[in-house]
């Protein structure tokens, strides 16, 4: 079967860093491309604890773009193995069920939480993170019966959703109600990421919240807060007028489209700016909670300057090495939180996986995921999909997906 596969070597990495400065097309076209369509065998169940899916839809994530363009920090490479079939936002129909799997039958339509934690790796006892209910932060991503890989899509042994069929461990599989579309099913994974980020840094009515980045994740963070009935003030900083207006439709109160976060923080929150001898202003007062979906040096430094005393900054965006001025951190007693995917949480005295909560919100139409899918591609047109993602405002694109013939 055809699959979209990623691979890179050290010499290839070095060459692309030079050629990529001339044109980004070198990363996905030509002999040095990191990604290509290849023939691979149909997957087989790794053990009786696994199932096999026929893929319906797979979303193209910003992390896929970063991987293809070699933007990620090398620090994560011990927890990746390639060549690997990309794609971790997918849904499909069960076509084979292992003998140790209960509650799942052929014909069920499911979505998949792609993290390859202790359960999928056959490790007992589970690590501390898995026992705490955060399998996405598993300490054994390079151990067990599988090759290194934090999730399906960056593991050599377990293919991702950019292929007609894929396998998943029973712990990863979540049934979808009939009223949820295939596009919505593929969007459960990014929605779960946003929902977990909000639950981990939960605002209340009195908070003033800033979301930096109004693309897919920024919009989903705004939708998550409104789905949770959090009636706080939400500002979104997003240079694309198209994407900024979309966040306004789903619940943002203030839009910042000129990237001047500090100036608008004064207007929105009543913070007072102080001018250092050198450098940008530092604000006293400001937003009490910030979700930085970009994660660049520029946005993180601006976030800390715009964050109030005892404010909490959630770093949602996955960036490279950054240089930070830590003065606001100690001066204003701030907290910076790492954000990465999802796990379990307590809701109404019951422990639930974030996927279950996300699916319920979609079922009850508390969020709108389907309309976020603006562009659909065939697997063979993956280059066109990459091109659209590299200039989303031009194409008025939000979420792009690959759809497979039914």
- Using a 10 angstrom Cβ sphere, with 0-12 exposed, 13-18 middle and 19 or more buried, the burial of residue 178 is exposed
**Which one-letter DSSP state was computed for residue 178?**
T
Structure tokens at 22: 């001339």
Do domains 2-175+369-403 and 194-338 share one topology? The answer is: no
Rounded Cα gap, residues 329 and 310, in angstroms: 9
Rounded Cα gap, residues 10 and 73, in angstroms: 14
Q: In DSSP terms, which residues pair with 289 in a beta bridge?
A: 209, 312
For 64-111, the DSSP string reads HHHHHTT-S-GGGGGG--SSEE---EEEEEEEEE-TT--S--TT-EEE
Structure tokens at 60: 């193209």
Q: Is residue 339 within 8 Å of 345, Cβ to Cβ? A: no
Q: Is 152 helix (H, G, I), strand (E, B) or coil?
A: coil
Structure tokens at 345: 């949480």
CATH number 3.40.50.970 is the correct assignment for the domain at 2-175+369-403: no
- Identify the pLDDT of residue 29: 96
Candidates 3.40.50.720, 3.40.50.10490, 3.40.30.10, 3.40.710.10; CATH matching 194-338: 3.40.50.720
* Domain boundaries of the chain, sorted by first residue: 2-175+369-403, 194-338
CA 364 to chain centre: 23
Residue spans of beta strands (DSSP E) within 146-269: 165-169, 173-175, 208-212, 233-237, 254-256
pLDDT in tens, the chain (406 residues): 999 999 999 999 999 999 999 999 999 999 999 999 999 999 999 999 999 999 999 999 999 999 999 998 889 999 999 999 999 999 999 999 999 999 999 999 999 999 999 999 999 999 999 999 999 999 999 999 999 999 999 999 999 999 999 999 999 999 999 999 999 999 999 999 999 999 999 999 999 999 999 999 999 999 999 999 999 999 999 999 999 999 999 999 999 999 999 999 999 999 999 999 999 999 999 999 999 999 999 999 999 999 999 999 999 998 778 999 999 999 999 999 999 999 999 887 889 999 999 999 999 999 999 999 999 999 999 999 999 999 999 999 999 999 999 8
In degrees, rounded to 5, the angle at the alpha carbon of residue 30 between the alpha carbons of residues 26 and 34 is 65
Per-residue b or e along 324-361, where b marks 16 or more CB atoms closer than 10 Å to that residue's CB: eeeebeeebebebeebbbbbbbeeeeeeebbbbbbbeb
Helix ranges restricted to H, 241-351: 241-249, 261-269, 297-306, 327-331
């Amino acid at each position: 079967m055809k699959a979209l596969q990623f691979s890179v070597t050290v010499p290839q990495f070095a060459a692309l860093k030079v050629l990529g400065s001339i044109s980004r097309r070198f990363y996905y076209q030509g002999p040095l491309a990191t990604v290509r369509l290849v023939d691979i065998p149909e997957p087989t169940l790794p053990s009786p604890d696994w199932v096999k899916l026929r893929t319906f839809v797979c979303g193209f994530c910003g992390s896929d773009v970063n991987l293809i363009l070699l933007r990620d920090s090398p620090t994560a490479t011990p927890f990746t193995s390639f060549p690997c079939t990309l794609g971790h936002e997918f849904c499909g129909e069960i076509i084979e069920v292992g003998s140790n799997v209960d509650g799942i039958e052929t014909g069920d339509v499911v979505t998949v939480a792609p993290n390859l934690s202790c359960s999928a790796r056959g490790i007992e006892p589970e690590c501390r993170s898995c026992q705490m209910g955060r399998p996405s932060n598993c300490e054994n991503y390079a151990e067990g019966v599988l090759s290194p890989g934090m999730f399906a899509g960056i593991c050599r042994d377990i293919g991702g959703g950019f292929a007609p069929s894929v396998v998943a461990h029973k712990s990863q599989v979540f049934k979808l109600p009939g009223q949820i579309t295939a596009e919505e099913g593929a969007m459960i994974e990014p929605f779960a990421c946003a929902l977990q980020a909000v639950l981990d840094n939960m605002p209340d009515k009195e908070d003033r919240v800033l979301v930096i980045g109004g693309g897919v994740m920024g919009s989903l963070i705004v939708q998550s807060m409104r789905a949770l009935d959090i009636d706080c003030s939400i500002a979104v900083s997003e240079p694309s007028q198209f994407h900024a207006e979309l966040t306004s439709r789903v619940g943002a109160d203030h839009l910042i489209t000129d990237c001047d976060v500090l100036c608008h923080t004064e207007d929105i929150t009543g913070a007072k700016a102080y001018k250092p001898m050198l450098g940008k202003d530092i604000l006293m007062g400001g937003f009490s909670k910030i979700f930085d979906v970009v994660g660049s040096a520029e946005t993180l430094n601006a976030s800390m300057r715009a964050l109030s005393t005892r404010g909490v900054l959630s770093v949602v965006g996955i960036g490279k090495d950054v240089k930070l001025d830590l003065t606001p951190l100690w001066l204003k007693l701030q907290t910076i939180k790492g954000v990465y995917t999802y796990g379990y949480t307590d809701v109404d005295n019951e422990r639930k996986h974030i996927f279950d909560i996300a699916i319920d919100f979609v079922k009850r139409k508390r969020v709108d995921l389907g309309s976020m899918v603006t562009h659909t591609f065939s697997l063979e047109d993956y280059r066109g999909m990459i091109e659209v993602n590299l200039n989303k405002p031009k194409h008025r694109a939000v979420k792009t997906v690959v759809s497979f013939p039914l």
